[in-house]
């Protein structure tokens, strides 16, 4: 089982692909999302969103926004801005 990760800003969809795991900075602290994670909607903090795909780690820096985890399989990051 894998996760579908989508990273969206107000200007564009930066990323959309299947990943193994995601590490995300939230207002309550950093969380690691694996397949089967409980549904969650929370506020993002400033920091790096990193994700693993086929043993390769990549990432974006976000400056706030929101995180939505649906059905333990879809992770949507709606960032204020990201690079």
Over 90: is that where the pLDDT of 79 sits? yes
Cα distance between residue 31 and residue 27, in whole Å: 10
Report the distance separating Cα 56 and Cα 45, nearest Å: 24
Please give the pLDDT value at position 17. Answer: 97
Total residues belonging to the chain: 83
What is the model's pLDDT at position 43?
Answer: 97
Residue 45 tokens read as 């903090």
Q: Hey, what are 54's tokens?
A: 């086929």
According to the model, what pLDDT value does residue 1 have?
83
Q: Is the pLDDT of residue 65 over 90?
A: yes
User: What integer pLDDT is reported at residue 72 of this predicted model?
Assistant: 85
Decide: 82 and 63 in contact? Cβ < 8 Å.
yes
Encode pLDDT of 2-58 as tens digits: 999 999 999 999 999 999 999 999 999 999 999 999 999 999 999 999 999 989 999
Q: Would the pLDDT of 80 be above 90? A: yes
Longest dimension (CA), the chain: 31
């Amino acid at each position: 089982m894998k996760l579908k990760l989508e990273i969206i800003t107000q200007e564009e969809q930066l990323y959309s692909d299947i990943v193994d795991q995601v590490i995300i900075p939230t207002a309550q602290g950093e969380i690691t999302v694996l397949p089967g994670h409980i549904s969650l909607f929370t506020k993002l903090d400033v920091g790096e969103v990193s994700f693993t795909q086929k043993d390769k780690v990549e990432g974006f820096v976000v400056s706030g926004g929101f995180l939505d985890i649906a059905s333990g399989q879809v992770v949507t990051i709606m960032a204020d801005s990201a690079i």
